[in-house]
């Protein structure tokens, strides 16, 4: 079973984070939520979430996928955290998947892992996707880097992650079961 780490920074976008966690767990993936400042994490809109672990306790584990939800100031907190930068660089250098949605691709740009890659983000953050060929696709997959636009693309993004890790049949089964349009 694939192991996934969803990074949770104060100011995260609740729709994105919860959709990602929910859909990946529906696919029966092993999902660990990791809070940057501990296990209690404050969302951008006042929703407080209890993470499974503090980032310091799980950062050295091997992950098949590391996911960065967006939101503000969540995305800037991810971008500016040295531990997140180190994890993203290590993950990408090993050829393993890194995914970010909304404004969170700015953390990938800061880590230097978008060089020569197609990537998307929430409108207005393209200039921080250092080295990327920016596109406006709702979900963009370029090798081991997966990016998406924002809250309205969270389910589509999550299903794309499932497809990458579990295959089209599992992703399509979830899409149909959740009544998600194609």
Three-state SS string over the chain comes to CCEEEEEECCCECHHHHHHHHHHHHHCCCEEEEEECCCCEEEECCCCEEECCEEHHHHCCCCCCEEEECCCCCHHHHHHCCHHHHHHHHHHHHCCCEEEEECCCHHHHHHHCCCCCCEECCCCCCHHHCCCCEECCCCEEEECCEEEECCHHHHHHHHHHHHHHHHCHHHHHHHHHHCCCCC
Catalytically annotated residue among 5, 102, 140, 166: 102
Task: Specify whether 140 is catalytic.
Answer: no
The catalytic site residues sit at 102
């Amino acid at each position: 079973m694939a192991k996934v780490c969803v990074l949770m920074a104060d100011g995260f976008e609740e729709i994105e984070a919860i959709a990602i966690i929910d859909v990946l767990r529906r696919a029966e993936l092993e999902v660990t939520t990791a809070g940057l400042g501990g296990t209690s994490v404050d969302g951008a809109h006042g929703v407080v979430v209890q993470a499974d672990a503090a980032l310091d306790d799980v950062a050295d584990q091997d992950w098949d996928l590391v996911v960065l939800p967006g939101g503000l100031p969540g995305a800037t907190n991810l971008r500016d955290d040295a531990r997140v930068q180190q994890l993203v660089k290590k993950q990408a250098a090993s050829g393993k998947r890194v995914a970010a949605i909304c404004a969170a691709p700015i953390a990938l740009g800061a880590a230097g892992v978008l060089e020569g890659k197609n990537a998307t983000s929430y409108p207005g953050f393209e200039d921080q996707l250092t080295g990327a060929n920016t596109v406006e696709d709702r979900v963009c997959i370029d090798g081991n880097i997966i990016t998406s636009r924002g809250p309205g693309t969270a389910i589509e993004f999550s299903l794309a992650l499932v497809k990458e890790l579990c295959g089209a049949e599992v992703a399509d089964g979830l899409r149909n079961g959740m009544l998600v349009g194609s």
